[in-house]
Amino acid sequence: MMRIALGALLLASTAPLAAETHTISPGEGAQERLQEALILAEPGDEIFLEAGRYVLTDGLSLDVEGVTVRGAGPAQSVLDFTTQQGAGEGLLVTSDNVTLRDFALENPKGDGIKSKGADNIVYHRIRVTWTGGPKPENGAYGIYPVESTGVLVSHSEVSGASDAGIYVGQSKKITVRNSIATDNVAGIEIENSRDAIVTDNYVTRNTGGILVFDLPGLPVMGGGNVLVKNNLVSGNNTPNFAPPGNIVGGVPRGTGIMVMANEKVWIENNVVMDNPTAPFMVIAYTQGFDDARYNPYPREVVIADNTVDAGATDPDLPGGEMLLAAFGGTLPPLVTDGLSDPESDDLPALAAHPDIAGWSLGLSRQGQSLAEAQPAPFAAPAYTPPWDMGDIGAPAELEARLK
């Protein structure tokens, strides 16, 4: 009997400690108490932010894996960075298997929440807002996962970002869904990333709605295999307020869905209305680059069955008034620069639903000036059923964290 009891005691002493909940309340000392909890948390722990406004003067960081940071709701638990010193992000996460849910950040001096190299991360019911509206002084990104495998952004909201509201970069296995992006330069951006689903989002009052980009010179290259479906992309007409030198500073006001230098992008069942430059834009990257890994042309982009209006009525393009006159007052919904990959003639750069009219700038070489453009209508080849996109989107295990 003694031997059994001793064995049970030894077994208990080697068992992992039960997960803890660290409850943080607003008020004096909240900055220190919250950062201390983020440092001392163990894998499996939860940090709970009670309802209230947390006035913070510095950024926060988390590098412990398997931690959940949860608030009482994005309207109840608010991390207020209005008086933040320096220009860093509001919260930086560098550990795996982290869940961030049910709280808000307001007015961070830099990015809202940045997660770097953090695999299997969940953003759920997160709100990031710059309360003064669109300004170039606002932080670049609201929700900003980068260099990750396994990203789920769900039921979140971002407004006021001077680059992209929801940005996923250099990552794979991504789902961005049921979220709202308003009053940003780019509403949602998928950059240099693969195996992504962007679905059931509301994207409005941005300069550009949904952008799928590939850029040169980044550690992770070769974005593609992206599905954009069931989104409402409407009224993206905010003048571009990106700081000088920012790549999205070239996005025309009034762009709905843009694909640049990406491959295997399937766009279907979206409602794309009231975007005065172009409901759909498919273009090459035309700036100079010296990255041998980079392909600047769009490849296998499909504009499938979407609900779209007649097209653009106020294009933010050089010679916009002359273009409108040439096309009878309204530009067709789909615009391309006319450039395609000369190495891949067997792969169409662009295919579209036969009901979607298009027009091309008629460029013939990369780096060509728009002054040399020769605009003309064109008919994209009809699309075929989608290629096998494989296992795309966030891993199913991330869904379990939302229950």
pLDDT of amino acid 11: 41
pLDDT of amino acid 16: 46
Per-residue pLDDT tens digits for 3-42: 444 444 444 444 345 689 999 999 999 999 999 999 999 9
Phi and psi torsions of 324, nearest 5°: -60, -45
Q: 137: pLDDT confidence band, cut at 50, 70 and 90?
A: very high
Per-residue pLDDT tens digits for 64-75: 999 999 999 999
Instruction: Determine contact, residues 50/76, Cβ cutoff 8 Å.
Output: no
pLDDT of amino acid 347: 54
Distance between CA atoms of residues 259 and 265, nearest Å: 8
- What integer is the mean pLDDT of 317-325? 87
- In terms of Cα–Cα distance, which of 247, 296, 295, 279 is closest to 352? 279
DSSP per-residue codes, 274-325: --SSEEEEEE---S----TT---S-EEEEE-S-EE-S-BSS--STTHHHHHH
pLDDT of amino acid 5: 45
Q: 345: pLDDT confidence band, cut at 50, 70 and 90?
A: low
Q: Coil, helix or strand for 250?
A: helix
Distance between CA atoms of residues 369 and 286, nearest Å: 9
H or E element, residue 225: strand 224-229
- In terms of Cα–Cα distance, which of 283, 74, 258, 82 is closest to 180? 74
pLDDT of amino acid 338: 86
Per-residue pLDDT tens digits for 245-288: 889 999 999 999 999 999 999 999 999 999 999 999 999 998 88
Provide, rounded to the nearest whole percent, the portion of the chain with pLDDT above 90. 77
Least confident of 81-90, 140-149, 221-230: 81-90
Residue with more model confidence, 349 or 346: 349
- What integer is the mean pLDDT of 360-368? 81
Phi and psi torsions of 323, nearest 5°: -60, -45
Residue 89 pLDDT exceeds 60: yes
Q: Coil, helix or strand for 370?
A: helix
Count CB neighbours of 183 within 10 A.
Answer: 21
DSSP per-residue codes, 10-62: HHHHHSPPPP-EEEE-SSTTHHHHHHHHHHH--TT-EEEE-SEEEE-SS-EEE
Instruction: Determine contact, residues 70/48, Cβ cutoff 8 Å.
Output: yes
pLDDT of amino acid 6: 43
pLDDT of amino acid 15: 39
Domain extents in the chain: 111-402
